[in-house]
Amino acid sequence: MVDPVIVPDAQRAARLAGKIAIVTGASRGIGRAIALRLAREGSALVLAARDQKTLIGVADEIAAGGGVASWVAVDLRVTAAPAAVVRAALEAYGAIDIVVNNAGATRRGDFLELSEADWADGFALKFFGAVRLVRAAWPHLQARRGAVLNIIGVGGRTPGPEFAIGGSVNGACLSFTKALADIGIRDGIQVNAINPGFVRTDRLRGQLEAAAADHGGDTEAAATQLARRSNVVRLGEPDDVANLAAFILSPESKVVAGCAGRSRRRPDKNGLTALPSSARRRGVAHNWRQVCYPDPRTRNRRQSFCQFSQR
Ligand SMILES: NC(=O)c1ccc[n+]([C@@H]2O[C@H](COP(=O)([O-])OP(=O)(O)OC[C@H]3O[C@@H](n4cnc5c(N)ncnc54)[C@H](OP(=O)(O)O)[C@@H]3O)[C@@H](O)[C@H]2O)c1
């Protein structure tokens, strides 16, 4: 019997002390929130995105909060870019513990109007960018028994008609996560995904503005409508995803592998979720639910009780 990892409250603020984390798409939205949160938990950061100015802004914000961050301005659609991110991390810190694949941008629109280039771009960034980054980082993660966290999206299972590219890319990322989680169990690397629903970032703001213009209301009314249509209590905030990311990457969830967390639809009768009680106590899990179950086929000794599965 293996003792569960219990982190005392006093140590929670620095659950990731001494860790080195790469976060892609760290200049804005969900990636920025995750980077800031991991820094607060004690991790040193490598921030990756294209725009140097915004990256420096986030790095400065982390430094102002007492954290450590370096940045690398890259277009992750370029084949060689992910390896350059890994090199930058090794040059800055000499090791890598965590890779968060978050960068993603796919064009929405009518299927027949989406071009070959739109499809290629969507896959080049989010799918191949993640695959290449993980390939380049894997030996270094293996050396430190590290972790990969993929930020994907519920559209990978339930894409609407405007989301053919994003849904297909996310579907591929989900399959990649499942395969990688099994390989990770073999190699001692923890692999999980978070499947956000709608989260209030610049990307969503554009959609809300378009909806407001179409229906003659304001963006807040469009947000309320969208939440109602999506059958969620409220739209997500970047910090909701960051909270879950910090939990998944913390020692408290070391036994979670191959899981995809997603927005939960309705509170259960206690307003709680299926996440462990330690997460509930800290309010981490308000909006999230794991969609994984024990898998009796898992024969490894790391007690990976969670297998990626349908719900
Ligand atoms: N927001 C949502 O409702 C929602 C829902 C489900 C899933 N997601 C997923 O969550 C992730 C983050 O979404 P978000 O809403 O936070 O996005 P966002 O606000 O648009 O931010 C995207 C980030 O990715 C970077 N990026 C974009 N193209 C890049 C490229 N070619 N190379 C390197 N970096 C690039 C951007 O910086 P630069 O432009 O400077 O490169 C930025 O830092 C995405 O994978 C998205 O699919 C979001």
How many angstroms separate the alpha carbon of residue 11 from the centre of ligand 1? 31
Distance 255 CA to ligand 1 centre (A): 28
Check if 196 has its Cβ closer than 6 Å to any atom of ligand 1: yes
Q: What is the pLDDT of residue 253?
A: 84
Which of the four CATH numbers 3.40.50.720, 3.40.50.300, 3.10.180.10, 3.30.565.10 does domain 11-199+236-308 have?
Answer: 3.40.50.720
The pLDDT of residue 12 is 61
Q: Evaluate whether 297 touches 230 at the Cβ level (below 8 Å).
A: no
The confidence score (pLDDT) of residue 283 equals 38
Q: Whose CA is nearest to atom 23 of ligand 1?
A: 25
The predicted structure's pLDDT at residue 256: 78
For ligand 1, atom 25, the nearest C-alpha belongs to 25
| pTM, two decimal places | 0.86
State if residue 204 touches ligand 1 by the CB under 6 angstroms criterion. yes
Distance 102 CA to ligand 1 centre (A): 7
203 lines ligand 1 (CB under 6 A): yes
Q: What is the pLDDT of residue 13?
A: 66
Residue 89 CA to ligand 1 center (angstroms) comes to 20
Q: What are the domain boundaries of the chain? A: 11-199+236-308, 201-234
pLDDT value at residue 280? 44
Closest to 238 in 3D by CA, of 72, 27, 9: 27
CB 126 less than 6 A from any atom of ligand 1? yes
Is 243 near ligand 1, meaning CB less than 6 Å away?
no
45: CA distance to ligand 1 center in Å?
17
| Ligand 1 atom at minimal distance to the Cα of residue 75 | 32
How far apart, in whole angstroms, are the C-alpha atoms of residue 34 and residue 100?
Answer: 9
Per-residue pLDDT of the chain (311 residues; tens, 9 = 90+): 556 666 666 656 689 999 999 999 999 999 999 999 999 999 999 999 999 999 999 999 999 999 999 999 999 999 999 999 999 999 999 999 999 999 999 999 999 999 999 999 999 999 999 999 999 999 999 999 999 999 999 999 889 999 999 999 999 999 999 999 999 999 999 999 999 999 999 989 988 998 899 888 899 999 999 998 888 888 999 999 999 999 999 998 877 777 777 654 444 443 333 344 444 444 333 333 333 333 333 333 333 333 333 22
Burial-class residue 225 by CB neighbours within 10 Å (0-12, 13-18, 19+). middle
On whether the CB atoms of residues 239 and 37 are closer than 8 A, the answer is: yes
Pocket test of ligand 1: the residue of 36, 55, 79, 199 to mutate, having most ligand atoms within 8 Å of its CB, is: 199
